[in-house]
Each structure stands twice: as structure tokens, then as C-alpha cells.
A and B are shown apart, each in its own frame.
Chain A
Amino acid sequence: MAVLRPKSTVPTKRNKPAGIKENRLFNTLNVLFMIVFTTIIIFPIWDVIVGSFSSSASVATPGIRLWPEQFSLDAYRVVFNDPSIWNAFLISVLKTVIGVTTSVFFTAMVAYAMSKQDLIGRKIFIALGVGTMFFSGGMIPIYLLMRSLGLLDNFLVYIIPALFSFYNMLILMNFFREIPTSLEESARIDGAGVWRIFLQIILPLSTPVLAVIALFNGVYQWNDFMTARLYITNEALYPIQMKLYEIIVQQQAANMQNVVGSVIIPTSSQTIQLATIVVATVPIVLVYPFLQRFLISGMMIGAVKE
């Protein structure tokens, strides 16, 4: 941010006091900038929360709100009385829980085998996997594949295509490789097989990295909307994101008609949209403190193996 350079002070290299003064100015401006910046991030989110707890009439009047003017739970009453929203929420919970468990387990299983340097075919498998990061058939060929696998309008479309991630496999593989082989060897002498070692020694020792991958996977599964948009037409299988999408599209249509001026928008729909946004985001907010702890280390595990 070159603009932060103060105009009044001429930067003089040898003049120490001027430099210190300039640094103090820099620090002050930096703190001010951060306050504005965090406000820009937080305030719109806060505005949505406030709106969801307001009466539809007060949301329909312009104004900056710090607090609900007319506190109202009407929108939440509508949302919680809508069985299709409950259903969508349940689908989201199921797809997240089942998706994360199966995907982490499946990927870890492959990663464990791949962590053995002398595995026959290892180099070929790696080459195949690297290819998956660079090539893609594109939207339509993948759709045709899902169709021929019978995954259209099938709950399994949330689970099966997300079972394996080569990128996560690399992370896990590198982690497993760091585990001392002596642990495995002593277990093998005691008669433990590959599966027993994997389940009872490797997995328990890898909880931190498994947790990171599970959390990232969970956020992806909870927020994923394209899978439903592309492959699901049966409303009973809609996740909460897809339900929210429908409400937003209706709201936008109402906004547009409002522009044309012929139709009066049903004002309650806006607060319902806001309440649905809040409901769809609550699980993310609940795991956010856990995410916080893991995300830096998770990012770094990922970045190092780039």
C-alpha cells in the first residue's frame, strides 16, 4: 500500500528520528486500516444475523442496523415449520457425516499402502494420481459417467465421487511415512496383519492429521451445492445449500419484479431468506473454533507437499 507513505515527511535514509516517526505513522495507519478491514468483513455478516431476527417490515425499510429494531422470531418460525428445510438440513448432516467418515477412511487406507516404498506399481499409481490433478473430462463427460453409474438422483452421489482425494492421499502418505517402522515391526512379530496394524497402530497415531483432513472435508461437504445442482432433481434429496439456493432465486425474481414495478414483493420472504442463511451457516460457525486451531497447520501440511 504505497499510498500509506506520509506526504509531509521526506524519507531521509540517514535521519533516524524521521524514520522512527514514519514507522510510528505507518503502524497507526496500519491499525486503522485493519479496523476498517475487519469491519467490512464482519458487518455484512452481522447485518444478515440482525435482519433474520427483525420483523419483515423493518428489514424492508432502508437503514443501517446495528441491532434488530423490531425483534421478531417470525422468520425462524417459518423456517422451522417448513418440513422441506428440516429434510434438507438432515440430508446435509447425513452427507457430511457419512461423506467425511468414508472419505477419510478410504483415502487413509490407500495412503497406508502407498506409504510402503517397496509397493509394486507404486510409481505408476503416483503417476496416475498426478494426472488426476491436471486433467479433467469436463462437466458433461462427468455427468454422463454419473448417469451410467446410476448416481443421478441417488444419495450416493454425495458419497462415492468424494471417496478419494489424491491430494489428501499424498498428505496422509507422507505423514504415515514418518511413523517409526519399529512400531510396526514389533506388532508384526506379535502376529498382527496389515489391517490390524493399520487400524490399531497407524490410525490412532495419526489423529491430528486425520482431524485436519476431516475438518476440511466436512466444510467442503457441508457447503457443496454443485453436486446437488448437477445430479439431483428429486427435492427430497436436496441439501440445505440447494434449498437456500431456491429461496435466493425466488427472492431475486421478486426483486426483479419489484424493479419492473408491477408486483409488490412478499416482504416476509427476505427475512426467511436471511434466517435460512443463518441456519445453513450455524454448523460452520460451531466448528470454526476447532478449524481455527487446525487450519494453519493443515494449510502448511498441504503447502509443503505442493
Chain B
Amino acid sequence: MKPNFLKRYKQQLPLQLMVIPGVIFMIIFTYIPIYGIVVAFKSFSVTDTISSAPWVGLNNFKIAFSDPFFWSAVRNTLAISFLKLLIGFTAPILLAILIFELKAGLFKRSVQTISYLPHFLSWIVVGGMLTSWLSTTGLLNSFLMTIGILDEPRNFLVEAQSYWMIAVLSDVWKSVGWGTIIYLATMASIDPTYYEAAKIDGATKLQQIWHITLPLMSFIIALMFVLAVGGLLGSNLDQTLVLINPLNASRAEVIDSYVYKIGLVQGDFSYATAVGLAISIISLILVIITHKITKKLNNRSIF
């Protein structure tokens, strides 16, 4: 086998020439930035290169841990992410179950088509829509005043205490329909004889959902849960950048937007990298813990 390695390589040289650009791409755009993390342990100024900047050890991390804005961003990130996980993770499961129970036909297809639509709008477009709906003359105020909940219009986007709810609900609005696809596909693969047997025994819809649908979906739910935890602390940037303003910043600033602000706006690359690295490590620990828990619950490994 080995002696003709060179000969074999030569033979498949045209194929190798096709794959090598992809490998070079991955090395440049993923692995070189990983080396760039050393910036977090250096004092990097705009004129430096990564290797020329002087080492400062853990200094940047020490600064982060005594920085109240860092902790405020951590708090907001955790709060928004956990609310998103709580509501944004369960909502598609419930919606999928309800869509599954609809009779196949035009109505069901329309519901699905409409529910996917917001997924295809960019966060900028949704952010623009939100500024319009939430403005004092916008849809939400008009609605709340019509049904008598509010007497005076409120400007929700500048009220810091409303921000978490706005962030979470707008995210659910945008993603709930799209999130149902994977669950609907799973449910479509459930053997219909289970349901028929249950119906003969007189089980109601809710009993069928509770005793058949949910147990048979538990593996895919656990898988989606671990994936959701993996992305928990790092996917709020687009949304935050469109919705943040000086009046709601105390509740809206998340780690990613904070890294963006101190790194790219204020130019403190080293400190920003350290903050980003700290949160990646927290994220990794969360994934490992969740994986352990779901594995215990499920008696099945996901990875």
C-alpha cells in the first residue's frame, strides 16, 4: 500500500487541487483567528501586529472582572438568553404539535407558509418594523389604547425595563414558525398505528399528545436543546445593534455588542478579545453541563 503512495497522490492530483483551496480557506478563516486569541493576553495597539505586541498575562481578564459594564453585559446576556431559551425553545414545539393536529389541506399549508415568513426578514428589517410598531403612534400603542389597557401612549423602545421582553418576544415572532420544521418532520415519521390504537382506547387529543407525540419526540427535543444551549450566549448581535439606544442600554447591552463597542468602536482590541474569550469559555461549560444532564435524562448520548 505505502510504496505507491506518491504514485497514488500523483494520480489523484487533479482532485487534490480541487480540495486544497477549501483546506487553505478553513486554515485562514478559522484557525488563524484562533491563534489571534493571544491578543487577549497582550497589550495590543492599533499599530501593532499580533506578534509584536507586548505580553500582559491575565491583566485584561482582571480588568474585565472588575468592570461593572462587563458584569452588566453578562447579566443582560444571561437574562435575555435564558428567557429566549425558555420561551423561544418551547414555543416551536407547542406550535408544531398544534399545526400537526390541523387537518391537511389549504388551511394547514397557509398557516405554515405564513409562519415561516418572518424567518426570511433580516434583523434590520424586523428592527425597523419594531421601531415603527412600538413608537408612540405605532401599532402596539394603538391596539392597547383601543382595547383600553393604556390611556397614554408609551414609548416602549426607550424604556429600559421593557427591553428584555421586546428582545425575547420579537425573537420568538421571527423564529417560531421556522423552528417547527424539524419537529413537524419528526412527527410525520411517527407510526400512525400508535394514534389509531389510542383512539380505539378512547384517548383524547391531549392524551395522545402527552403519551405518544411528546415521548416519541424526546430525543430530537433533547438534541435541539443542547444545540440551543451551544448558541445561547452569542447570537444577539444583529438584534441588539438595531434596538439599542442610550436610554435602554443598561438593559440592552450584551456581551457581543460590548465586545463590538470596546473593540471596534473604541479600538481596545486586547480587552475586547479577553471579554469575548471569557464568554466563549462560559458557553462551552454550559454546553458540557447541559449535555451531561440531557444524557442522564435520556440515557442516550447526543454526540
Contact = CB atoms under 8 A, between A and B. Distances in A.
A189 interface: no
A161 B273 contact: no
A274 B138 CA distance: 12
Majority SS at the chain B contact face? helix
A296 B112 CA distance: 11
A96 interface: no
Given A116-B12, A252-B131, A270-B132, A288 B237 contact: no
B155 A41 contact: no
Contact of B242 (A14, A64, A245): A245
Nearest to B230: A134
Nearest to A26: B205
B89 to A, nearest CB: 16
B18 A132 contact: no
B30 to A, nearest CB: 4
B18 A4 contact: no
B280 to A, nearest CB: 7
A296 B202 contact: no
Nearest to B260: A139
B127 A129 contact: no
A33 interface: yes
A137 B273 CA distance: 9
A104 to B, nearest CB: 13
A243 B113 CA distance: 29
Nearest to A17: B202
B6 to A, nearest CB: 10
Given A2-B206, A37-B95, A145 B29 contact: yes
B205 A129 contact: no
Contacts of A149: 28
B12 A119 contact: yes
Contacts of B177: 41
Contacts of B8: 118, 120
A241 B122 contact: yes
Contact of A194 (B18, B94, B155): B18
Interface string B217-260: 00000010000000000000110011001110000000010011
A229 B185 CA distance: 36
A73 interface: no
Interface in A229-281: 229-230, 241-242, 244-245, 247-248, 251-253, 255-256, 258-259, 270, 273-274, 276-277, 280-281
A226 to B, nearest CB: 6
Given A125-B19, A255-B157, A1 B242 contact: no
Given A30-B102, A145-B36, A23 B204 contact: yes
Nearest to A58: B137
A141 B19 contact: no
B77 to A, nearest CB: 14
A79 interface: no
A296 B27 CA distance: 32
Interface in B119-141: 120-125, 127-129, 131-133, 135-139, 141
* Nearest 3 CB-CB pairings of A with B: A137-B33, A141-B36, A110-B22
25 contacts: A11-B207, A19-B202, A26-B206, A27-B101, A31-B102, A41-B173, A45-B129, A64-B146, A131-B30, A132-B30, A138-B33, A149-B28, A223-B122, A224-B122, A226-B238, A241-B124, A245-B127, A248-B128, A255-B131, A273-B128, A277-B129, A280-B124, A284-B120, A295-B181, A300-B185
Interface of A: 1-2, 4-5, 11, 13-16, 19, 22-23, 26-27, 30-31, 33-34, 37-38, 40-45, 47-48, 51, 59-64, 106-107, 109-110, 112-114, 116, 118-121, 125, 128-129, 131-132, 135-145, 148-149, 161, 163-164, 166, 169, 193-195, 198, 219, 222-226, 229-230, 241-242, 244-245, 247-248, 251-253, 255-256, 258-259, 270, 273-274, 276-277, 280-281, 284, 288, 291-292, 295-296, 299-300, 303, 306
Given A110-B22, A248-B127, A273-B132, 12 more contacts: A15-B202, A37-B115, A45-B117, A51-B132, A64-B143, A139-B272, A140-B269, A140-B276, A198-B18, A253-B245, A255-B155, A270-B132
